[in-house]
Amino acid sequence: MLRVENLVIRYGPIEAVKGISFEVRQGEIVSLLGPNGAGKTSTLSALMGLTAARSGTVELNGEMISGQGTAQIVQRGMTLSPEGRRVFPRLSVEKNLLLGGITQKDWRNPVVLGRMYERFPILAERRNQLAGTLSGGEQQMLAIARALMASPKMLLLDEPSLGIAPKIVAENFELIEQLRDEGLTILLVEQNVFQSLSISDRAYVLENGRIAASGNSFDMLNSELIRHSYLGVSDPLAAA
């Protein structure tokens, strides 16, 4: 579904991402892990055309999307739920959702909107409420629902558990698994390493702009690198 080759991202003289290559197969959840500043968010921004890559190629479903604009990439089937949610605080919940589908010809499609309200009942209750007045967890639901409004084939999720209550975090991870089971392909950036590896099929570890490790999520959960560097435990069962 997604193939990235030798991606390089620079901010002035600083090389944030240093020639990484990875792939996400159809129907997978793939986790992109790593410490703060490793280049994870920069990578997602480049995939969506929000940040210009210095070099490298990106293919989506066999089609080259490198250098295309964000609207074109969304039309080709990939959307982003960004770090920090980034809802439009002075617009209603419903207007935020409608903006998520604005690249589609039928962006006011009541059927798609109805699906979002069915999946996220709290958003249906709050449809006329300003997005900026929602709780952090509700805003995260809105950010994910907004990304789903374009009916993507592939969803990029950037830190969906950041700054929200543990109960909502658990619900969000259940939602991510459900979306995968329904056929959506997902690339997940998340600081909660144990949760990410528990629901993903494969994972890549990004450190200092380079891929330091990759493999099956179950195997990585039991690896010394992950247990010591990211979970801080020797026994992976202790992380539960």
Question: According to the model, what pLDDT value does residue 4 have?
Answer: 97
Taken as a whole, the chain contains a residue count of 240
Return the pLDDT at 90.
95
Q: What is the arithmetic mean of pLDDT over 198-222?
A: 92
Q: What percent of the chain has pLDDT over 90?
A: 69
Q: Could you tell me which of 11, 1, 14, 15 has the C-alpha nearest to residue 210? A: 15
pTM score of the predicted model: 0.89
* Predicted pLDDT at 213: 87
β-pairing, 185-189 vs 154-158, is: parallel
pLDDT of 107 over the 80 cut: no
Residue (of 125, 128, 70) closest to 95 by Cα position: 128
Q: What is the mean pLDDT of residues 135-164?
A: 92
Tell me the torsion sign for CA atoms 62, 3, 157, 19: negative
Instruction: Give the C-alpha distances (Å, rounded to integers) separating 129 from 69, 89, 144, 221, 226.
Output: 31, 10, 17, 41, 42
Model pLDDT, residue 229: 66
Q: Average pLDDT for residues 71-85, to the nearest whole number?
A: 92
- Between 75 and 224, the more confident residue is 75
Q: State residue 237's pLDDT score.
A: 44
Question: In 3D, which of 58, 47, 46 has the Cα closest to residue 5?
Answer: 58
* Topology (CATH) of 2-85+153-239: Rossmann fold (3.40.50)
Which pLDDT band, with edges at 50, 70 and 90, does 231 fall under? low
Mean pLDDT of the chain: 89
CA-based nearest residue to 168, from 122, 210, 202? 122
Whether residue 133 has pLDDT greater than 90: yes
Least confident range from 83-97, 107-121, 133-147, 170-184: namely 107-121
Helix (H) or strand (E) holding 13: none
- Residue 34 CB-density burial (10 A; 0-12 exposed, 13-18 middle, 19+ buried): buried
Residue 201 binned pLDDT confidence (cut-offs 50, 70, 90): very high
Between CA 51 and CA 46 the distance in angstroms is 5
- Domain locations in the chain as residue ranges: 2-85+153-239
Across the strands, what pairs with 79?
A: 155
pLDDT at 178 over 50: yes
DSSP 3: E
DSSP E strand stretches across the chain: 2-11, 14-24, 29-33, 55-60, 63-64, 78-81, 154-158, 185-189, 202-207, 210-216
Strand, coil or helix: what is 237? Answer: helix
User: What are 27-61's pLDDT values in tens digits?
Assistant: 999 999 988 888 999 999 999 999 989 999 999 99
Residue where the block lists tokens 């959307």: 79
Predicted confidence at residue 228, as pLDDT, reads: 66
Q: What's the confidence (pLDDT) of residue 240?
A: 45
Name beta bridge partners: 3. Answer: 23, 59
Q: Taking Cα atoms as reference points, which of 64, 67, 76 lies closest to residue 104?
A: 76
